[in-house]
Each structure stands twice: as structure tokens, then as C-alpha cells.
Amino acid sequence: MNEIKFIECATAEEVAEQAAQPFLDAIKANPESVFGMATGSTPLGTYAVFVREAKAKRVSFSRCATFNLDEYVGLKPKDAAHSYRVFMNNNLFGPAGFNLDRTHFPFKWDEPIKPGTDFAAYDAHIAAAGGIDVQYLGVGENGHIGFNEPGSDISSRTRLVKLAEQTIKNNSRFFDSEEDVPKEAVSMGLGSILKARKIVLVANTKNKLKAIEALRNAQAFNPEWPCTALVAHPDVTVYWLAK
């Protein structure tokens, strides 16, 4: 057995509420908390809890800082709505009252990437902000976290990555066609993620069960299932739905 805490929830609502709790606790203890944020379908329930709590004025996110895990490279202008920046602004930052100046991405999706860009500057930026207090993670069907696809190095930093075929297929549900799904992204590395002080991983659909099983059984990092990098971390809680 590894040290990861696995909390099996009965409903998607329970997953959302429970996974939100470590963030709400952190912000109540320190309004300037630094959060690592994820995109995709998984966090939507949790983000709705953040919005509800902020609107009810039980919590304020206005002084916290955020660093998102990843961003697509090469999005067509017609797909602006699928950029992770736009996703976060619409689903969380706007409605929950974050200060956009304190929300960060590995690069600006709508500006050309300058040749020779060292994306690891993002890791230095996170460190300069004091490091991530609580990191939210979804997980890909193939076990990816962020866009660290199978074969990623456990010490990897923020960098340009190629998306796996399965990821492109899975994410095509958000686009008009599979052709429109970017083939590359910039993602925090496994090493970047492991620097967070606390990690929350959420799996709330059936197609994630194999990845959760791999994580439950892992005694050490297995690059075929990137999420198993988390066995090396001292404070990980997984909130998951078994059916």
C-alpha cells in the first residue's frame, strides 16, 4: 500500500463538495493561498462549489493566486472558447471573484510563442509566489495528469508536450471535429506538480477507473501511468466515484 488517501464518494455532488474542502480550508486560513488549477470536465462540480461559497460571501478568492496546469498550443481562433484561459475565466475566475492579475498560465494561448522560450520559467514563477499550497488534479483515461502523457519523466518541468492519440480522441468531444483538437500543449511537469504542498486528485467518471486502479496498486512510479508519480508525494488525497 502507498500512503495516498483514497476517499470513495457515493455521488458526483459528494466528490465535488469533498474535493473543494481542502481549498476552502486553505483560503480561510490564509486568504493569499496559492492554488494549482485544472481544466476539463472533472473540476466543474468543484468550481461550482467555489462559486457558490464566494457568492454567499463565506469565502473570498480575491487575494489568492492561481497557476493553471496546462494550456493548448495552436488553437484556431474559432476555438478560443476552448482555451483553458477562457474556460477558467468563464467557469471560475469571473463568477467566483478572483483577481485576474493573480491568475497565471504557462503561456498566453493567443500570442505567438517566441522561439527559444523556456517554459520552465513558469516553475520559477510558481516558486517565487511561494509555491503551490493546494493543487487540483483531474486524471486522463490513460493516467495523464496535466498533459504529462505516458512516458513523461518524473522530474519533468513545465515544457512543450505532444498529446497522446487517446487524449486527442477524448478531448475531441469539446471541438467540432478531431482535426480541430490541438496536437500540442504546454504543461507543468510531473516534477513541477510534485512540488505542491498538498495534492487533491479527482476522478468522477467510469473511464478513469483503470487509472485509479493503477494508482492504488502502485508502489513506485510507473511511467506508463503518469499519475503514479503521486506515490512519491507525502500529502495526496484522491476523491473518486466507483460507479
Catalytic residue annotation = 70, 142, 144, 149
The C-alpha cell that represents 23 in the structure block: 481549498
65 versus 186: smaller Cβ distance to ligand GLP: 186
Considering only residues 214 through 243, tell me which ones interact with ligand GLP, judged by CB under 6 A. none
Q: Which of 46, 156, 171, 228 binds ligand GLP (CB under 6 A)?
A: 171
- Least CB distance to ligand GLP at residue 31 (A): 26
Edge-first strand order for the sheet with 34-37 is 5-9, 236-241, 198-203, 134-137, 34-37, 65-68, 103-104
For ligand GLP (CB under 6 A), the number of binding residues is: 14
Q: Specify the DSSP element, H or E, that contains 193.
A: helix 190-194
31 versus 74: smaller Cβ distance to ligand GLP: 74
Q: Which of 16, 23, 42, 98 binds ligand GLP (CB under 6 A)?
A: 42
Answer whether 152's CB lies under 8 Å from 90's CB.
Answer: no
Segment contacting ligand GLP (CB under 6 A): 34-42, 48-56, 100-108, 125-133? Answer: 34-42
Taking every pair of Cα atoms in the chain, the longest distance, rounded to a whole number of angstroms, is 48
Instruction: Report the b/e string of 167-181 with b at 16+ CB within 10 A.
Output: bbebbeeebeeeeeb
Under rule CB under 6 A, residue 70 binds ligand GLP: yes
203 versus 218: smaller Cβ distance to ligand GLP: 203
Closest C-alpha to 70, from 133, 132, 154, 161: 161
Answer whether 230's CB lies under 8 Å from 199's CB.
Answer: yes
- Least CB distance to ligand GLP at residue 146 (A): 5
Considering only residues 121 through 150, tell me which ones interact with ligand GLP, judged by CB under 6 A. 138-140, 146-147
42 versus 156: smaller Cβ distance to ligand GLP: 42
**How many alpha carbons fall within 13 Å on the CB side of residue 148?**
31
| Rounded distance between C-alpha atoms, residue 136 and residue 43, angstroms | 8
Closest C-alpha to 114, from 187, 186, 183: 186
49 versus 59: smaller Cβ distance to ligand GLP: 49
Considering only residues 145 through 164, tell me which ones interact with ligand GLP, judged by CB under 6 A. 146-147
The footprint of ligand GLP (CB under 6 A) covers 38-42, 69-70, 138-140, 146-147, 167, 171
